[in-house]
Amino acid sequence: MVQIEMEDGGRIIVELYPDIAPITVRNFKKLVSEGFYDGLIFHRVISGFMIQGGDPKGTGTGGSGVTIKGEFSANGVKNTLSHSRGVISMARSDPFNSASSQFFIMHADDTGLDGKYAAFGKVLEGMDVVDRIAAVKVNKNNKPLTEQRMKRVTLLNNYTAGESSENTSQEQSENDSSVTDTSD
């Protein structure tokens, strides 16, 4: 599990599916455990489609410096997770193996992305936060006029629905050494 805590206090809890996209989940968890996403923004927001973040430049052109294999059928990898509302998936440029750190959360269903992008988890809690982000005013490049900043992104052990972010963050801090290898 991953918690995306927004600067405004909203939080999104995402369940990860390593059985569907093991390389993608391993890469995402590594970046989360390193604090890579802390302070980054959702730089591309299209209501009725998706919200996208994870670019350290905040422009859609940046990444972590490492790319991973695209885990989707057009790239020869079986991935049965459809791009339905709440699904998290990796953004990429044209080359199939170009995903790095940018991800998107589906605001609405779009099966046209299936087989072309590596879906790897789903929002369990916080779709109201996704809806709120999707509703902000954007410029002509779909960048929010008011920054939608991820304050902190953390891995969670022993997640319980409705648990306060203070408890899960404290638990995460106490379990940092085991979190990378044991959480989903």
CATH number at residue 9: 2.40.100.10
Domain total in the chain: 1
Which strands, in side-by-side order, build the sheet including 42-46? Answer: 42-46, 50-53, 103-106, 87-90, 119-125, 11-16, 2-6, 150-155
pTM summary value: 0.87
Measured on CA atoms in the order 44, 47, 48, 54, is the torsion positive or negative?
Answer: positive
Q: Is 180 helix (H, G, I), strand (E, B) or coil?
A: helix
> Which domain covers residue 84, as residue numbers?
2-182
Per-residue pLDDT of the chain (184 residues; tens, 9 = 90+): 999 999 999 999 999 999 999 999 999 999 999 999 999 999 999 999 999 999 999 999 999 999 999 999 999 999 999 999 999 999 999 999 999 999 999 999 999 999 999 999 999 999 999 999 999 999 999 999 999 999 999 999 877 776 544 444 434 343 333 333 333 4
Please answer whether residues 119 and 81 qualify as being in contact, where contact means their C-beta atoms are separated by less than 8 angstroms.
yes
